């Protein structure tokens, strides 16, 4: 900030306020500015986390606030970690997480690579591709249930058109085998543009001079792709995977709207299961232990991922 601007700001400060701050060190003023944020962080993030950890060792139920709260030690953790239903929801989450990340990275990178090539209508196509990301997950979930309808759904007719299978012979969200793929398709449709945008930023940050130097060295396009494009886009791609991985680990709204966790509990992801334990069965202590397990898992994964990301950036 130039001296002139500082002088103008100083003159504009009301005298009463100026007298209050007179004599305070820069460090003290910095603390005054930062303190509200720190306070909010403690109140909104840290305190609930500590409270959740505390509740996870009790049998507290939020719908019975007057009942005695007993300290149950590690019993909640024991019950969660030996429950085959929760084990099944973990597998459903792993399936969802793995395949959504796989398809989003693959298609997102391919789209970014295409969009990065200069062609007519480039900007228009970028806007059209990005459109699904702008919609609300609840809306997306709702209209995909119509698209997946066996009788009137467009999706079934498209599949029928290409494969010759009768459109009413299969139900994407009613079949135990197809429902896990139905949620993968919708999430991929919605969030691939996000990965595409991040990859596009990475691709556009590569200077043309590097490719020109490679051309001079007679490097083939294939060689340029593997030794220039991929290594330079990798940090961006890893960042996209980190964001999508964390988001999909706690995926809730889209899947609830689409399948409600069904059929049976085949698409019941951990966050849906956790919400049922906490706010339908009202087992707050148990749900807190469940939340702590998920928190530690995500925190651990994010730690090693950020370390890997920093290593890639250093290269």
Partner 1 sequence: MSGFIKGLLGFRRGAWEMLASILIALGVFMLMQPFWLVAFTYSFIVTLVGTVMFIIVSHFQE
Give me the residues that bind partner 1 (CB under 8 A), please: 77, 81-82, 84, 87, 90-91, 93-94, 293, 296-297, 299-301, 303-304, 307
Q: Please, what is the minimum distance in Å from the beta carbon of residue 263 to partner 1?
A: 19
Helix (H) or strand (E) holding 157, with range, is helix 154-163
Cβ proximity to partner 1: between 201 and 242 the closer is 242
Cβ proximity to partner 1: between 14 and 84 the closer is 84
Q: Please, what is the minimum distance in Å from the beta carbon of residue 301 to partner 1?
A: 6
Provide the CA 216 distance to its chain's centre, in angstroms. Answer: 42
Q: Please, what is the minimum distance in Å from the beta carbon of residue 86 to partner 1?
A: 8
Identify the burial level of 232 via C-beta atoms within 10 angstroms of its C-beta, where 0-12 means exposed, 13-18 middle and 19 or more buried.
middle
Identify the burial level of 8 via C-beta atoms within 10 angstroms of its C-beta, where 0-12 means exposed, 13-18 middle and 19 or more buried.
exposed
Cβ proximity to partner 1: between 200 and 255 the closer is 255
- Encode 3-56 in three state secondary structure: HHHHHHHHHHCCHHHHHHHCCCCHHHHHHHHHHHHHHHHHHHHHHHHHHHHHHC
Helix (H) or strand (E) holding 279, with range, is helix 270-279
Strand partners, 51: none
Strand partners, 71: 58
Q: Please, what is the minimum distance in Å from the beta carbon of residue 255 to partner 1?
A: 17
Contact 132, 189 (CB under 8 A): yes
Q: Please, what is the minimum distance in Å from the beta carbon of residue 89 to partner 1?
A: 10
Question: What interhelical angle do 84-116 and 270-279 show, nearest 10?
Answer: 130
Q: Tell which residue, 109, 274, 88, 103, has the closest CA to residue 187.
A: 103
CB-CB neighbours of 181 under 10 Å: 15
Q: Please, what is the minimum distance in Å from the beta carbon of residue 14 to partner 1?
A: 46
How many whole angstroms separate alpha carbon 296 and alpha carbon 120?
Answer: 48
Contact 254, 140 (CB under 8 A): yes
Cβ proximity to partner 1: between 24 and 94 the closer is 94
Cβ proximity to partner 1: between 152 and 306 the closer is 306
Cβ proximity to partner 1: between 129 and 251 the closer is 251
Strand partners, 58: 71
Q: Please, what is the minimum distance in Å from the beta carbon of residue 300 to partner 1?
A: 4
Cβ proximity to partner 1: between 97 and 140 the closer is 97
Identify the burial level of 253 via C-beta atoms within 10 angstroms of its C-beta, where 0-12 means exposed, 13-18 middle and 19 or more buried.
middle
Cβ proximity to partner 1: between 68 and 314 the closer is 314
Q: Please, what is the minimum distance in Å from the beta carbon of residue 97 to partner 1?
A: 8
- DSSP-assigned letter for residue 263: S
């Amino acid at each position: 900030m130039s001296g002139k601007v500082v002088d103008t700001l100083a003159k504009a400060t009301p005298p009463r306020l100026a007298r209050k701050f007179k004599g305070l060190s820069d460090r003290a003023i910095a603390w005054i500015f930062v303190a509200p944020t720190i306070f909010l962080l403690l109140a909104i993030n840290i305190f609930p986390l500590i409270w959740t950890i505390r509740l996870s060792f009790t049998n507290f139920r939020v719908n019975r606030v007057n009942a005695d709260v007993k300290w149950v030690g590690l019993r909640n953790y024991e019950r969660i970690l030996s429950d085959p239903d929760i084990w099944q929801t973990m597998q459903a989450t792993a399936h969802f997480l793995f395949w959504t990340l796989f398809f989003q990275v693959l298609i997102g990178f391919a789209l970014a690579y295409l969009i990065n090539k200069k062609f007519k209508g480039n900007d228009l196509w970028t806007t059209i591709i990005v459109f699904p990301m702008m919609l609300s997950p609840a809306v997306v979930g709702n209209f995909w249930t119509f698209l997946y309808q066996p009788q009137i759904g467009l999706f079934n007719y498209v599949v029928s058109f290409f494969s010759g299978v009768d459109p009413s012979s299969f139900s994407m969200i009613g079949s135990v085998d197809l429902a896990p793929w139905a949620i993968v398709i919708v999430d991929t449709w919605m969030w691939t543009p996000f990965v595409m945008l991040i990859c596009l930023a990475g691709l556009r940050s590569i200077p043309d001079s590097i490719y020109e130097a490679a051309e001079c060295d007679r490097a083939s396009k294939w060689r340029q792709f593997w030794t220039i494009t991929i290594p330079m886009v990798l940090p961006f791609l890893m960042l996209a995977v980190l964001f999508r991985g964390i988001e999909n680990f706690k995926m809730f709204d889209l899947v609830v709207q689409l399948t409600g966790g069904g059929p049976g509990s085949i698409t019941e992801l951990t966050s849906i299961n956790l919400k049922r334990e906490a706010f339908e069965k009202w087992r707050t202590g148990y749900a807190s232990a469940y939340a702590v397990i998920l928190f530690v898992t995500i925190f651990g994964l994010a730690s090693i991922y950020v370390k890997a990301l920093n290593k890639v950036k250093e290269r």
